[in-house]
Amino acid sequence: MDSIFAKFILLFASILSVVSAPNYLRLETDDLNFDFKTGGNYPIYYFLNVQNIGPGKERFEISSDEPWVSVYREGTNFVFVELPPQAYVNFVLEIRPERLPDGANKTEVHLKVLDIESLVSQEVVLDEAEVSIALNKNIVQTLSPAPTPTFVSEPARTPLPAAPDLSPILKQLQALIDSLRLLLSRLF
């Protein structure tokens, strides 16, 4: 009976720790916009400042799925770093606009924080973030003529409220499910 009670307490504590788990990743920005005209200087370099706000030393990784965006730690060509609590690092985003067609181009750079102790047996993701990159290549801003005033009365429209972003909640729920699955597999 004591064994079942101990397992229940351990399970409850694990669930509580996952639900109330601290964030590990702080970004200075998660939305970048660049304008480029042919003949301009390239590549475009951007230093993305990242801080470990978690309680322990963890592994921070960055990745890009697009060939026109290279990512690496400042001063090296590594895509990861182990950071102690409250430490900062700059990841370099090297953007190659010459590889893109004219127009609006978008992509995302992915960051994740991994538990160092779990890397030997299983990769445990503690936190994740995405940085959106928009690059406008050879887009000319033109001013449109002012509309001719008309005196047609329209009923007032109430703007719809913006839908809440559920992705952080879904990520926490997925982390909770993964932790429960791991805990249950170890207990039974």
The residue-averaged pLDDT of 86-95 equals: 95
Least confident piece of the model among 52-61, 85-94, 158-167 = 158-167
Does the predicted TM-score (pTM) go above 0.75?
Answer: no
How crowded is residue 85: how many other Cβ atoms within 10 Å of its Cβ? 13
Q: Set out the domains of the chain in order of their start, with CATH numbers.
A: 24-141 (2.60.40.10)
Q: Is the dihedral of CA 107, 127, 60, 49 positive or negative?
A: positive
- Render 128-169 in DSSP notation, one character per residue: EEEEEEEEEESPPP-PPPPPPP--------PPPPPPP--HHH
Pairing type for strands 125-137 and 31-36 reads: parallel
Is residue 164 pLDDT above 80, yes or no?
no
Residues 25-76: tens digit of each pLDDT: 999 889 999 999 999 999 999 999 999 999 999 999 999 999 999 999 999 9
